[in-house]
Amino acid sequence: MSRIGKLPIPIPDAVKVSLNGRTVHVDGPLGKLQWSHRPEITVRVDPGDKAVLVTRNDDSWLARSLHGLTRRLIANMIQGCVKGYSKSLELYGTGYGVQLQGAKLTLMCGLSHPVVFDLSPGVKVEVRTAQARGDTEPARLTVSGADKQAVGELAARIRKTRPPEPYKGKGFRYAGEYVRRKVGKAFAGTGGGT
């Protein structure tokens, strides 16, 4: 038995969980999420204990591997509808910038063209640029929403447009991420032939 999969998922008071066939619907203060689980797994809602129980139908390799995963994904949906998820990124580089216009996020990060992302309805982006704060700090943006996968995917796609390079550290990085810096070539005038 999976140590994670056998744990019941408590349902907070502000969240409503319902099942429609194999589709799990979670409705909370921060949004509505739905997800369809595999047929090897059985999900049921226990209204008396206010919990979601996940069990597997047999002991096959696939059912055992999906047991803990299904339980964790449903728990993430419930937590996302109550607390939400967020990822913060920082953009380092002279002349680099971020603009948010409605549902479009535009990145100017040293490429020959601006990179534009269309935001999905469940994901919000908050931008704090260095010019608005009047200092030399990097531009910061926070991706937040109820869907953990959508938040993480958008943050990863933004970072992938210009990952931090090791010499000057220019590019996108997660807040608090350590970038290992390299020393550039030293052009010393003392060497040379005799």
Q: Where are the domains of the chain?
A: 9-82, 85-174
Angle at 92 between CA 89 and CA 96, to 5 degrees: 105
Distance of alpha carbon 161 from alpha carbon 137, whole angstroms: 20
Q: Domain spanning 85-174: which superfamily? A: Ribosomal protein L6 (3.90.930.12)
Domain 9-82 has CATH 3.90.930.12: yes
Contact 47, 117 (CB under 8 A): no
Q: Tell me the pLDDT of the chain (194 aa) as tens digits.
A: 678 888 999 999 999 999 999 999 999 999 999 999 999 999 999 988 899 999 999 999 999 999 999 999 999 999 999 999 999 999 998 888 899 998 999 999 888 999 999 998 889 999 987 655 555 678 899 999 999 999 999 999 999 999 998 988 899 999 988 888 888 887 766 555 55
Q: For residue 112, give Cα distances in angstroms to 46, 105, 107, 191.
A: 56, 17, 11, 38
What per-residue string of b and e applies to 14-36 under the rule 16 or more CB within 10 Å gives b?
ebebeeeeeebebebebbebebe
